[in-house]
Chains A and B, each alone.
Chain A
Amino acid sequence: DTAVSQTPKYLVTQMGNDKSIKCEQNLGHDTMYWYKQDSKKFLKIMFSYNNKELIINETVPNRFSPKSPDKAHLNLHINSLELGDSAVYFCASSHGVGGPRETQYFGPGTRLLVL
């Protein structure tokens, strides 16, 4: 009965490859997010979706494309992977429209290593 789940947990790949990370939440939340945590543990938001609609799109390369097939899923596709994409990617969700008082619930993270 995991609340926010991500697959895979670990992803090791070569530069130039295309990969996807999947996220699912069973909390009935309306808003989902993707964060990137770099090697210094600094967390930064990348995207957020509310009911399948993009509401936050930070300065992220076009190689990153989120896709939300339904409000319980927010997948992250990355084209032409680069060394600098190596990081831990966290998915999160919140109840509501992504307002400033909402508690965000995080997934376990996907550790991506680009060689």
Chain B
Amino acid sequence: AQSVSQHNHHVILSEAASLELGCNYSYGGTVNLFWYVQYPGQHLQLLLKYFSGDPLVKGIKGFEAEFIKSKFSFNLRKPSVQWSDTAEYFCAVNAQGSARQLTFGSGTQLTVLP
């Protein structure tokens, strides 16, 4: 079965600081990877996704993520965060050949201080 770990439960940064949120998954086969963001009181929105090809994927709002297969990781990055990036960030995996089930990590709460 697939699983996802997000080790950073709560990250606090000042504006303009660089961000990296960790995501590790466990599944031996081909995976499809997603990062979703949930702004306070809002629904989940897709930030970016990786299926195949270039392991560095760019998403909306200046976010990017790098898939490192050997480390089973898909970390999210942003060079300079803004106060409006304050939100909960979820990594998710949907494995090829799985029972069509999107599995989420436990989320990382990012707080950006003005």
Contact indicator B43/A108 (Cβ below 8 Å): yes
Contact indicator B100/A56 (Cβ below 8 Å): yes
Contact indicator A43/B100 (Cβ below 8 Å): no
Query: How many residues belonging to B are interface residues under a CB distance threshold of 8 Å?
Result: 26
Contact indicator A106/B45 (Cβ below 8 Å): yes
Measured in the bound complex, the distance between the Cα atoms of B54 and A39 in whole Å is: 36
Contact stretch, chosen from B11-19, B60-68, B72-80, B88-96: B88-96
Known: A45-B101, A106-B43, A106-B45. A101 touches B106 (CB 8 A): no
Measured in the bound complex, the distance between the Cα atoms of B40 and A109 in whole Å is: 12
Contact indicator A56/B104 (Cβ below 8 Å): no
**8 Å CB contact of B43 from A45, A48, A100, A107:** A107
Q: Which residues of B contact A107 (CB under 8 A)?
A: 43
Q: List 8 A-B contacts (CB under 8 A).
A: A33-B102, A41-B106, A42-B107, A43-B44, A55-B100, A56-B101, A100-B94, A101-B51
Interface residues, chain A, CB within 8 Å of chain B?
4, 33, 40-45, 48, 55-56, 58, 90, 92, 97-101, 103-109
